[in-house]
Chain A
Amino acid sequence: MQVNEQLLTHLENLSYLKVSEDKRQEIINQLSQIVSFVDNLSQLDTNSIDETFTMTNQATYLREDEPMCDSDINTNIIKHAPRTENNFFIVPKIIE
């Protein structure tokens, strides 16, 4: 997969993030490296392996049903959102 300016713009749109001009080439290079690293995986023959295979045969951990919520965290998250209003995240108008 070729990571270029066009794909980066597409990713910016999808992620609702903005990459500044001086970082664009660096990000394109990094993304290209990640993609080629992941491409290594396609060399493995996985035909005989079940799709739910994991490195461990353990079952998923079960959590007790006890509420816990740190309001500092979600206040901080809201504070860093690109746009908010009255504690709502604001996103571009959703077209049905």
Chain B
Amino acid sequence: MFETVIGLEVHVQLNTKTKLFCSCPTSFNHKQNTNTCPTCLALPGALPVLNKEALKKSIMFGTAVGATVNKTSFFDRKSYFYPDSPSAYQITQLYTPIVEHGYLEIDFEGGGKKTIGINRAHIEADAGKNMHESDYSKVDLNRAGTPLLEIVSEPDMRSAEEAILYLKKLHSIVKYIDISDANMQEGSFRVDVNVSIRPKGDEKLYTRVEIKNINSFRFIQRAIELEVARQTEAWEDGVYESEIVQETRLFDQEKQETKSMRTKEEAADYRYFPEPDLLKVVVPEDMYKEAIVIPELPDEKKQRFMDEFGVSQYNASVLTSSLEMAQFFDIMMQEGISSKNAVTWLSVELQGRLKNGMTLTSSPVSAKQLGLLVKRIEDRTISGKAAKEVLDFLMTDNMDVDVAIDKLGLKQVSDLGAIEKIIDDVLSSNPDKVNEYKSGKDKLFGFFVGQAMKASKGSANPQTVNEMLKGKLNS
């Protein structure tokens, strides 16, 4: 029996306004080579100056994962030659990173938790982009110098499932503390997977293979499963030593296989040395104090939803799985409504109506509106059925909820006097039915409700009618 050992490296693009070492705007989809300057183009004499915000966001991350924040850290120079890096080196943090020794907890679907260690998180500059034509290559350096936080886990994961749970938790943490857009398709959350296998019980780590640049959770899961199968097969066939080498492989989503990209350079090839263009990084005390006060984390929010609003554990997990949904729910709850109704109207009614790529962020009906709509059901202004009509209406014609209710004429009559009059009329015009009811024919109750509702043209609050009828008939 084999055991899978997985470690993950995630490059998170920090959502600062400017690059790591110069004031060029960070951008996605801007015209090529327009967000560049002598520093990020590595022209002679241009020097790097560290972005304050990138440092602060890194400390926020360290706080979120219970890590040690090194108040003094250093940058190092990693040499490599490739046209996406005009300087022919990357400025990174090898020896003393800003963040070390953190952890996060993953929750299994069937219950149970596991702690996954985070070895380190260090700040580094991103490279530009190359596009390959048939006989030449094009270089766009807009991305060159964008701040990245590389988050390196301990090799603590034992299955593809655990790896995905770790990644989802990490993804949600960086979104919650707002240090990155973490968009996998746009490359602001990039995952490299290190996979090896070993006989169960063996403590040694065997040859690890790195799988790079896989841009969805589903493909990461698939890539790990395929790679584990390849390594296991090689071991069982007795060709592990020759077949499995330390290398970088790419996941081919069409062929559903991993294939060799290049054999991994030895660390020495990068000729790391302390970056001579930057002094040591010392975190100013006031920045540190600000950075350790971070927004509510996913697990905290989940617990609060359970404690404060009585949301079930399952619903709390669903609600907090995305920050947008959690924030939407939180705002709805400010109307003082029941969490059960809020969950249903958010996850079933509203989300069921969000079509054609609409999301909660672009929803035509805001959280405040939806919360108020639910409140109007709860305070008996409208029925649940009428509320669905109002919601349909608001999806296309945006206006105030109460105005929409009036406009659609859906307001229930909760005026006790008016309802009492209707009921009295119903009872006095059906004296024989009243007598039958009083002599034990309980089923007639429905008849009275029906008559009263009919007389009100459906606008009477059914619950009020019920209560009042019961009172009158049983007196």
Residues of B within 8 A of A77 (CB): 36, 38, 41, 43
B288, chain A: closest CB distance, angstroms: 12
Interface membership of A42, Cβ < 8 A? no
Q: A60-B50, A69-B24, A94-B132 are in contact. Are A87 and B32 (CB under 8 A)?
A: yes
Question: Are B17 and A67 in contact, with the CB atoms below 8 A?
Answer: yes
Residues of A within 8 A of B18 (CB): 63, 65-68
CA distance A38 to B32 in the complex (A): 39
Question: Are B31 and A87 in contact, with the CB atoms below 8 A?
Answer: yes
Question: Are A69 and B25 in contact, with the CB atoms below 8 A?
Answer: yes
Query: Out of A51, A61, A87, which one reaches B33, CB within 8 Å?
Result: A87
What is the interface residue range for chain B against chain A? Answer: 35 or more
Q: How many A residues, CB 8 Å from partner?
A: 35
Question: Are A66 and B17 in contact, with the CB atoms below 8 A?
Answer: yes
A74, chain B: closest CB distance, angstroms: 5
Interface membership of B338, Cβ < 8 A? no
Question: Are A61 and B37 in contact, with the CB atoms below 8 A?
Answer: no
Interface membership of A96, Cβ < 8 A? yes
Question: Are A67 and B138 in contact, with the CB atoms below 8 A?
Answer: no
B24, chain A: closest CB distance, angstroms: 5
Q: Which residues of A, 49-74, contact B by the 8 Å Cβ criterion?
A: 51-52, 54, 56, 58-71, 73-74
Select the residue from A70, A89, A92, A96 with max chain B CB neighbours within 10 A: A89
Residues of A within 8 A of B280 (CB): 52, 54, 59-60
Question: Are A51 and B274 in contact, with the CB atoms below 8 A?
Answer: yes
Interface membership of B327, Cβ < 8 A? no
Question: Are B82 and A94 in contact, with the CB atoms below 8 A?
Answer: yes
Closest chain B residue to A61, Cβ basis: B49
Q: Is the interface of A mostly helix, strand, loop or mixed?
A: loop
Question: Are A63 and B141 in contact, with the CB atoms below 8 A?
Answer: no
- Binary CB contact string for chain A from 79 to 96 against chain B (1 if under 8 A, 0 otherwise): 000010111111111101
B467, chain A: closest CB distance, angstroms: 61
Question: Are B37 and A74 in contact, with the CB atoms below 8 A?
Answer: yes
A15, chain B: closest CB distance, angstroms: 9
CA distance A93 to B38 in the complex (A): 24
Q: Is the interface of B mostly helix, strand, loop or mixed?
A: loop
CA distance A59 to B287 in the complex (A): 14
Q: Which residues of B, 35-53, contact A by the 8 Å Cβ criterion?
A: 35-38, 41, 43, 49-53
Query: Out of B37, B41, B279, B282, which one reaches A70, CB within 8 Å?
Result: B37
Question: Are B23 and A91 in contact, with the CB atoms below 8 A?
Answer: no
Q: Which residues of B, 253-293, contact A by the 8 Å Cβ criterion?
A: 261-262, 273-274, 278-282, 284
Residues of A within 8 A of B136 (CB): 83, 90-93
CA distance A92 to B83 in the complex (A): 9
Interface membership of A7, Cβ < 8 A? no
Select the residue from A65, A86, A91 with max chain B CB neighbours within 10 A: A65
B287, chain A: closest CB distance, angstroms: 8
CA distance A59 to B280 in the complex (A): 5
Closest chain B residue to A60, Cβ basis: B279
Residues of A within 8 A of B34 (CB): 69, 71, 74, 87
B107, chain A: closest CB distance, angstroms: 35
Interface membership of A3, Cβ < 8 A? no
Residues of B within 8 A of A64 (CB): 52
Closest chain A residue to B262, Cβ basis: A96
Question: Are A69 and B55 in contact, with the CB atoms below 8 A?
Answer: no
Q: Which residues of B, 279-312, contact A by the 8 Å Cβ criterion?
A: 279-282, 284
Select the residue from A14, A83, A87 with max chain B CB neighbours within 10 A: A87
CA distance A63 to B278 in the complex (A): 13
Query: Out of B35, B51, B135, B278, which one reaches A69, CB within 8 Å?
Result: B35
Q: A87-B33, A93-B136 are in contact. Are A67 and B25 (CB under 8 A)?
A: yes
Query: Out of B23, B54, B279, which one reaches A56, CB within 8 Å?
Result: B279
User: 18 pairs across A/B with beta carbons < 8 Å?
Assistant: A51-B274, A59-B280, A60-B280, A61-B279, A63-B23, A64-B52, A65-B18, A66-B23, A69-B36, A77-B43, A88-B140, A89-B140, A89-B141, A90-B136, A91-B138, A92-B137, A93-B132, A94-B130
Known: A62-B284, A89-B83. 17 other contacts (CB 8 A): A51-B273, A54-B280, A60-B278, A60-B282, A66-B17, A66-B23, A69-B35, A70-B37, A74-B33, A85-B138, A86-B32, A88-B139, A90-B139, A93-B133, A93-B135, A93-B136, A94-B130
